[in-house]
Amino acid sequence: MTTSKYAEEQAFLEGPHSRGRELFFLFKVMLQFIKGFRKFHFLGPCATVFGSARFGEDHPYYAKAREIGAALANLGFTVMTGGGPGIMEAANRGAKEAGGRSVGCNIVLPVEQEPNKYLDRWVSIDYFFVRKVLLSKYSFVFVVMPGGYGTLDEFFEALTLIQTNKVKNFPVVLFGVEFHKKLHEHFQFCVKQGTVNEQDLSMFLFTDSIEEAAQYIEDNAIQRFHLRKKKNIFPIKLLGERKEKYVN
């Protein structure tokens, strides 16, 4: 993405522009959604893993994310991530190594973000809000690994959508007890202040155990939503669709 492209996005958020310019932007957003819908339409049920792009292969949480990716694949999920390096790469890698499906919804950025090499398929999106919709749309599970602003944004959006009944009560796993300890303490403080209901703390599992997370997902996603019963969805040739084979 060029500098002029970023300037265009920044200008959009400055306030109202001409009707023609606003309409043109809407068409571009629509095309981004169509691009994602066409790419991911034939996925099985997904589990989305969020986490930092900045952890290298030698980081302990990279290894944990790799194990989580494998565990999710063994449960029958397509592992979806933001498609980049770090935790995202590790989760995709674990899924691939376990013989599962691995996909990514990449965001186009000037630094840090390129599709990792463990993806069976991916789509690159210009707008964060489009990307977040796609990461949520196809997923029955959200696993939140240690990360920064972007990861926390995705975590809080998932919780907000569940809390407000915009999506069903899909399982959310907050992984990394030591890393997220202060965050968890803040949630408890929010309960005391009355800004969060105590029962809302049961909306996610706070753990360091991959086995506990896998069982939680088994109970609260696979069994609750009967995910083993797959729908037969076939491509429509008239629309130029095709059911791509995944690389094993």
Residue 1 has pLDDT above 50, yes or no: no
What is the model's pLDDT at position 248?
Answer: 30
Tokens read off for 217: 């997902």
Beta strands in 76-194 (DSSP E): 78-81, 102-107, 121-125, 139-144, 172-175
What is the model's pLDDT at position 211?
Answer: 98
Residue 13 has pLDDT above 50, yes or no: yes
The number of distinct structural domains making up the chain is 1
The answer to the question of residue 243 being in a domain is: no
Give residue-wise pLDDT tens across range 198-224. Answer: 999 999 999 999 999 999 999 999 888
The answer to the question of residue 15 being in a domain is: no
- Average pLDDT score over residue span 134-146: 96
Does residue 90 contact residue 98 with C-beta atoms inside 8 Å?
no
What is the model's pLDDT at position 232?
Answer: 47
What is the model's pLDDT at position 240?
Answer: 63
The answer to the question of residue 33 being in a domain is: no
The answer to the question of residue 126 being in a domain is: yes
Q: In the 8-state DSSP scheme, what is residue 218?
A: I
Q: Which CATH number is 59's domain given? A: 3.40.50.450
The CA distance from 91 to 47, in Å, is: 10
The answer to the question of residue 16 being in a domain is: no
Domain, as residue range, for 197: 44-228
The answer to the question of residue 105 being in a domain is: yes
- Average pLDDT score over residue span 61-90: 97
What is the model's pLDDT at position 246?
Answer: 39
- Burial readout 19-41 (b: 16 or more C-beta within 10 A, e: otherwise): eeeeeebeeeeeebeebbeebbe
Residue type for 69, please?
Answer: G
The answer to the question of residue 20 being in a domain is: no
Q: Pick 245 or 124 by higher pLDDT.
A: 124
The answer to the question of residue 29 being in a domain is: no
